[in-house]
Each structure stands twice: as C-alpha cells, then as structure tokens.
Amino acid sequence: MPLPPVAKTALGRHAMVSTGHPLAARAALDILRQGGNAVDAAIAADAVMGVVEPMATSVGGDLLAMIVPAGGAVVSYNGTGRAPARLLPALVEALPGRRIPERHPLAVTTPGAVQGWHDLHQRLGRAPWSGLFQSAIATARDGFAVTPITAREWKLFASTLLPDATARELFRAEAPPAPGDQFHNPELAALLDRIAALGPAAFYQGAIPAAAARAVQAAGGVLDAGDFGHHSGHFCPPVHADFHGYRIHQCPPNTHGVAILEALGRTARSTAPPDSAQATLELVEATEQALAQASRTVADPAGNTVCTVVVDQEGLAITLMSSIFKRFGCGIAVPGGGFVLQNRGFGFATPGHINGPAPGKRPYHTVVPGAVTRGGHFEMAQGVVGGLMQPQGQIQLLTRILAWRQDAAAAMSAPRWRLEAGRTLALESGMDEALAAALREAGYPAPAKGTGELAGRSDFGGAQLVRRLPDGGLQGVSDPRKDGIALGF
C-alpha cells in the first residue's frame, strides 16, 4: 500500500488523528469520513499498528484508554490482562532474585487488547464493528513497506525471537526486514478477519487460547486456555489533578499515571523562569521523587507501546494505547495466529510486595493514556510510548505546553531527559550545553552505557497529541522520534 504524505503537525477544523504510522492514521481518518466516531477510528488505527509495529503491539498485548466525551465526564478504560491462574508465588520464589525475568515464559499474562476494542466499541462506538478492521486485514494480507524506525528496532530486538521457532520464522528474525522491505502476515490477517466477523469470541475461545497455552507451556510457562476465558476489562473514573488552570486526567493503578500527577503537583508553584536550568532541575527532581513513590506503592517500570489520539467532528476525544510490553514481548509466537504474546509479568515485584505475583492478578503497568480538560471541556489528549519515558515524557510535554506556554509542536521537538537507574540522567542530543552542565553539577551523572537500551532517539519516547486551539480548531502533533503522522480535516 502507498503511504500518505508525511506530516508531523497538522491543523483541522473538524477532526484530527495523531498516531504512530501513516497507514494507521489513514485508516482512522477513513473511518471518520465514513461517519464513524473517534472511538471507532482509534480502534481501526490500533489494529493497523499491531500489523505494522509487531515489536510494539498486537492482539497479544494489552490496551488502556482515556475518553473525553463532548460535554460529559472523562472516563478511563483498563484492559490490562491478568496473571495465569497457575502463577503461584512459590514459582517466582524459586527464580533468581525472586523476580520474573524479562523474557521468561512465566512473564506471559493474558492479552487484553481484543476485549478492549470490543468493550470500547460496545459502549461508545458507532460504526459497524466489522468495518473497523478492514484496513488492518488488508495491510497484513497484502503487505506493507517497513518504515525506517520500525526496521531499526526490529533488527535490534530480532534476537529475542530466535529461541522460539514459530516467532523466528514469522518475523524473519535471522534476516529482519530493512527499511522499505515488504512484510506480509497472512496468519494475522486471517485472525483479524475472524475477529471482524465473530467479535472477541474469535480470540478468547477455541483455537487461539489452545495454541497459546501449548506454546507457553512448552517453553516452561503456566498460561492456560482457561485464562483467556476469564479475562475482562473495565471502565473507571480517572485520577486527576489541577495544574496551571487545567485538569490533568490519568488512569488509576495498576498503571503509574499517579506519578505524573504527583510530579506536576510538586512543580505547580514553581517561580523559576520557563525552560531555565532551575525550572528543569526542579522538574527532574520532582519526577525522581514521584517515580520512587510509584515504585514503592505500585512496582518497577519498563516497556514499549503504541499510541493513537483521535478527536472527532462531535468533540469526542480518545487516547488509546496498546502494548506487548518489551519489544517483541515474551518472544513466544502463537502458531497460526501471527503474533507474539506479551511479557507483562515482568512488571511484578517480589512475592510479598504489594505488587507481588499472584494468580489472576494484574501486574504494575507502564501504559498511561492521558487527557487534559479546562472548565470541564476538552483541551488536549496525549500519550507517550517508551516504558519509563511514558510518565517522564508526559511530565515534560505537559509542563512545556501548559505551564511554560510553548506551542505543542515546539514542545514535542524539544530535547528530552530521561531518568534511569542510580540517579543517572540521559540527555537527548541537542540539549542546551549550559542546561546539561547544570543538571550534571546537580548530581545527575550520565548513564554508563550511552543513552539507554537503544542508545538513540527512541530512548526518549514517542508521543502523540491533539490539542484544541483557542479558535476552536484542532492541532495534531506526531513525535519526530517515531514513524507516525498527524492528519486532520
């Protein structure tokens, strides 16, 4: 399929989409033009993202969303999966460090994305269910050109697929696609076609749960077909805090959205000049304290995600984020399904911790879709992908846009910082030298190994946002660190 023109920033009077891939943006815009609403469009885009960024998301992962109805109360949706019923704490006690390792088969949790699509559509959607998946089905069946940043991450993490024969062959782990190479996934196309026809039963009953259980158990895990049948998501009120005249909405635990609110609260009364060394240092310190509190009360963060933000003609807004956690998840593919399973169980702490593993328990989750209102009306919807950068990226964007009054596109492109283990602070290329020196002098050394696990731009996240402008129009901004675009009309 040809790609639409690349546009990182877009303006529109009626509707706007900002998402991680041009094909996903086009799918969402098509749904809107056909009479669907923002929820319909976001589902269509997310389904495409699971095809074109298989290292980041798929039907094998989880979904969370923040919805701002026009004139209604903000609501969040938690579609995160639970630990298998047979994940007993004693199994984790026997592991080194009493923690589930990153790619261990015990890290597999039940996927929540497909049920999440259905729950969102049942409550808020308008377009016919089957039509939401036609772009994703065609993209998987007919193939797509792999984009540059996706190709880079695919190559970097292809080794995680090598131990699993199905995953190794499915995603060409021994010869990952280069930028521009065509990739087809007919098995995923067939599965999405069944989901379009039959709804979530096509995923949570029958062949897929059985195949997933066999694959995981063969690797030494405990996921069972029955775990699929017990999955459910739920709608709930978001947690919120006021910040410079705006109300910031985040998903409640088991996510770490509360860390965003706490960090912003610590800096809300700052008198330091915007974008100054003092203001940035205060923000870094507040973020460090907020993340430490989240670690004590929720868990330890890390991961990879995709984000779609849509605002429709009637003012309904949604931030929808899905993820298989670490790139390529657990590295275990479901035979006949065309996807890998997530490894969210890595987010559990040690047995006995508040976030310790237990049967049917949801682990600490890194995905934090957010929204901003003012006077009860929609102002902005946003999300940042990239594990520990999710709260840190939102904190930096929200501060720049709402407190420092920067244009959203300028705020998106500004160099970012990232707190890592041991109070180390990674600084993105282009950071002002005087500011960098001030942060180092304040006791935040550089990481020992470059700037993170990718040692490059992707370590500083990838954001999507849509903001309502003072004249009533919409501005969409897609992060230049990723392959995505913003499209509107």
What structural domains does the chain harbor?
A: 9-416+461-488 (3.60.20.40)
- Enumerate residue ranges in the chain where pLDDT < 70: 1-7, 297-304, 449-458
How crowded is the C-beta side of 200, counted as CA atoms within 13 Å?
20
SS (H, E, C) the chain: CCCCCCCCEEEECCCEEEECCHHHHHHHHHHHHCCCCHHHHHHHHHHHHHHHCCCCCCCCCEEEEEEECCCCCCEEEEECCCCCCCCCHHHHHCCHHHCCCCCCHHHCCCCCHHHHHHHHHHHHCCCCHHHHHHHHHHHHHHCEECCHHHHHHHHHHHHHHCCCHHHHHHCCCCCCCCCCCEECCHHHHHHHHHHHHHCCHHHHCCHHHHHHHHHHHHHCCCCCHHHHHCCCCEEECCEEEEECCEEEEECCCCECHHHHHHHHHHHCCCCCCCCCHHHHHHHHHHHHHHHHHHHHHCCCCCCEEEEEEEECCCCCEEEEEEEEECCCCCCCECCCCCCECCCHHHHCCCCCCCCCCCCCCCCCECCCCEEEEECCEEEEEEEEECCCHHHHHHHHHHHHHHHCCCCHHHHHHCCCEEECHHHCEEECCCCCHHHHHHHHHCCCCCCCCCCCCCCCHHHHCEEEEEEECCCCCEEEEECCCCCCEEEEC
pLDDT at 6: 47
Structure tokens at 111: 């996927």
Please report the pLDDT score of residue 442 as a whole number. Answer: 94
Is pTM beyond 0.85? Reply is: yes
Is 342 in contact with 50 (CB distance < 8 Å)? no
What is the reported pLDDT for 72?
87
Single-letter amino acid code for the residue at 402: L
Centre a 10 Å sphere on the Cβ of residue 235 and count the other Cβ atoms it contains: 15
Q: Are 92 and 345 in contact (CB under 8 A)?
A: no
End-to-end CA distance of the chain: 22
Q: In the prediction, which pLDDT does 301 show? A: 41
Return the number of other C-beta atoms located less than 10 Å from residue 350's C-beta.
Answer: 16
CA–CA gap between residue 322 and residue 403 (Å, rounded)? 28
Chain centroid, CA 374 distance in Å: 25
Q: CA 176, 178, 181, 184 torsion: positive or negative?
A: positive
At residue 5, the pLDDT reads 41
Answer yes or no: are the C-beta atoms of 341 and 324 closer than 8 Å.
yes
